[in-house]
Structure 1
């Protein structure tokens, strides 16, 4: 077991990599009553074309990572996993994103029992033709529910408008047609590939003893047999530089139009600190441009073009990246026009040093506050670690950023040729 000390944050992270490849991280938080644990695999909705070193290339139906997450909660003894956690005073859940699947629990008692439950059910798949067919109906209803959700449709509409080839454009749950092709054999194939301990990570944070946690996990894993597995190669079609659609309009009953616009970026190949730095400087730039304390935000609000739900975000990986800007608006086309005008002015003039310093302090403050939330720590650390970066190393990166870094990022990212817009309007 190694300890990694972050003196400025006054945190010590404990780490061990087991013989089967599983990485364990434990962050003790003295005085915290709650313990939060995540058991995550680097496997998400975009991983539908892959090859394990030494094996055949495989293509699987869209939505299978999400489908697999659902099926992991069913056990051979018929007892629901949620009830097992509940009986031990824990709350459990799971989620699938583009690039990871995470199983988790939160508890203030019986931590050892709950940790064994987490490890054991995720490492004990149970798929039959009958329970797979039954799940298709359940997930089909979920897909239909999201198809009728205006917020989800405007969000995915923008991704679909931006990307032409990359599987990020496909709904995480897949389609009713794609999940109909899923069988227990394809589930086992994906499970055996991506749920191998060498592709997974356990993170535990809270009032725990690191040595005890890691020793418990060692014993748990020693009782299970995993043959070594080669590297997983993921394949993606080459994504065109241009967006697929400039303007995508979806009709659903809404009281006011829903609007999102975004700037598409294609594969950068960046990983580790370089990718982390790009993500941080982009989010800082968006905060300087569109944060709720900016002049632009106030102008648009005074013009009744935006409301309190107006916001922005940036997603950046080595394979794809994009910003999202928007919310409800009375006039989507006018809002695009106004944003183009004002962003164009900002690109010409750049941000001031005073505004940069203020926004940077705000971002650093938000980061430091996250360190008081076990949930935020676990999810942010896992997300960063799967991208070969360190969540606890963010502070020095922030402090190294300059005004010119942000102004350059503004000029680079706000490329109107890469703009796509998604709106949901009433029929």
Structure 2
């Protein structure tokens, strides 16, 4: 078992790659009563074209299979696994993103039982033709419900603008048409390819004994037989140089218009540590330009261009990265123009100063230290980080090492007019 100590934070990660390929990472927190466990696979909605296990040719599967599979894994031969966890004093949940599928449970008692249940239900799938047919209508209703949500429309619309050909443009759940074409055989092919232990990680954070917990997992895994690990061959069009849709709008039932300005990135090909550093750089830059300590934020607020819904985000995933900035506005065109002007003139921006950088850096350090009080935050960071070569506990040292000059170079390189797009949700016309 490998042990990595972070003395400054008084944190330790115990990790081991088991013989079947499963990576286990344990973070003991003896001063907590609860435990947060996650089992996730490097498999999400964009992974719809790949070579299935045992075959030689690429197959294109319907959009939404990863999400569909996540739903069906909860149905075991004994019924809904949620009830089993509940009877053991645990809560369970799951989600599918563009690049990962994660299953999570939290508990204070019955540690071994709950950890084994988490492993067992995911590693012993049960698919029936009838249950798959029943699930289609459930997911189709879910997709239709999303389409009526203005916030979903804003987010998805911007992604479609930035990535007109990339599979990320399709909602994680798929489309009503694609879901109807999912079969039991497709679910099995996707499961056998992506749910092998070699493509999965188990993260456990909380009141645990690392050696004892690792032994529980090893005992559980040695009882099971898995095929040999294989290199997963995916085919995803990254379209880094493909043109974007510069501007689009839709009309929905909203009282106030919503606007989002996006910037399509080109940094997703960085190596693990470079990617981790870049993500933190972008976090600082966006906070400098649009955070509540910036003159820009105050000016936009005083001009009634933004309200409390205003936000900004940087998404960095396997195969794509982008910035999104915006919110509700009485004058979406003016807000979009102001945001673009700020992005394209960072060198002249009064908020991009060493003094402001020092303030933001201290703020981010404080927020980070506070976030480490949450077991869920720590566990989710292992899922969300761009690589398993770095951890949530590396954040502080990297943040401290980032220089003001480095930020200016990154900002100037990232924000280019040809990569900027605007999507607007406006009130329906009478």
Structure 1 residue 397: deviation in Å? 1.1
* Equivalent residues of 1:164, 1:239 under 8 A apart: no
Counterpart of 2:420? Answer: 419
Counterpart of 1:294? Answer: 294
- SS, match of residue 233 in structure 1: coil
* Equivalent residues of 1:242, 1:417 under 8 A apart: no
Structure 1 residue 230: deviation in Å? 1.3
C-alpha separation in 2, matches of 1:266 and 1:403 = 21
C-alpha separation in 2, matches of 1:423 and 1:336 = 9
User: Is it true that 1:394 corresponds to 2:391 in the alignment?
Assistant: no
Structure 1 residue 161: deviation in Å? 0.6
C-alpha separation in 2, matches of 1:386 and 1:68 = 24
Q: Write out aligned runs for 1:331-346 (5 A).
A: 331-346=331-346
1:253-303 CA distance string (max 9 Å, x none): 001011111100246411311001111101110000000121100100001
- SS, match of residue 385 in structure 2: helix
* Equivalent residues of 2:161, 2:423 under 8 A apart: yes
Counterpart of 1:371? Answer: 372
User: Is it true that 1:163 corresponds to 2:163 in the alignment?
Assistant: yes
Counterpart of 1:63? Answer: 64
- SS, match of residue 322 in structure 1: strand
Structure 1 residue 227: deviation in Å? 1.5
TM-aligned CA distance change 1:274 to 1:136, over 3 Å:
same
Counterpart of 2:41? Answer: 41
C-alpha separation in 2, matches of 1:288 and 1:213 = 43
Range with bigger deviation, 349-358 or 129-138: 349-358
User: Is it true that 1:76 corresponds to 2:77 in the alignment?
Assistant: yes
* Equivalent residues of 1:314, 1:323 under 8 A apart: yes
- SS, match of residue 32 in structure 2: coil
Q: Write out aligned runs for 1:122-271 (5 A).
A: 122-239=122-239, 241-266=241-266, 268-271=268-271
* Equivalent residues of 1:275, 1:317 under 8 A apart: no
Range with bigger deviation, 315-324 or 345-354: 345-354
1:99-133 CA distance string (max 9 Å, x none): 10000101111111111111110111111111111
* Equivalent residues of 1:48, 1:61 under 8 A apart: yes
C-alpha separation in 1, matches of 2:374 and 2:293 = 25
C-alpha separation in 2, matches of 1:30 and 1:111 = 14
C-alpha separation in 2, matches of 1:111 and 1:238 = 42
Q: Which ranges of structure 2 fall in alignment gaps of 5 or more residues?
A: none
* Equivalent residues of 1:266, 1:319 under 8 A apart: no
Structure 1 residue 241: deviation in Å? 2.3
- SS, match of residue 91 in structure 1: strand
Q: Write out aligned runs for 1:81-96 (5 A).
A: 81-96=81-96
Structure 1 residue 395: deviation in Å? 1.5
Structure 1 residue 394: deviation in Å? 1.5
C-alpha separation in 1, matches of 2:332 and 2:386 = 38
Q: Which ranges of structure 1 fall in alignment gaps of 5 or more residues?
A: none
Structure 1 residue 346: deviation in Å? 3.2
Structure 1 residue 309: deviation in Å? 1.4
TM-aligned CA distance change 1:108 to 1:385, over 3 Å:
farther
* Equivalent residues of 2:317, 2:386 under 8 A apart: no
Structure 1 residue 387: deviation in Å? 5.4
Structure 1 residue 306: deviation in Å? 0.3
C-alpha separation in 1, matches of 2:302 and 2:66 = 44
Give the count of matched residue pairs.
Answer: 426
* Equivalent residues of 2:272, 2:389 under 8 A apart: yes
C-alpha separation in 1, matches of 2:82 and 2:397 = 40
Cα RMSD over matched residues?
1.5
- SS, match of residue 288 in structure 1: helix
C-alpha separation in 2, matches of 1:392 and 1:171 = 32
Range with bigger deviation, 363-372 or 221-230: 363-372
Structure 1 residue 308: deviation in Å? 0.8
Counterpart of 1:407? Answer: 408
Structure 1 residue 186: deviation in Å? 0.4
* Equivalent residues of 2:49, 2:60 under 8 A apart: yes
C-alpha separation in 1, matches of 2:30 and 2:282 = 34
Counterpart of 2:303? Answer: 303
- SS, match of residue 51 in structure 2: strand
C-alpha separation in 1, matches of 2:373 and 2:329 = 35
* TM-score, with length taken from structure 2: 0.96
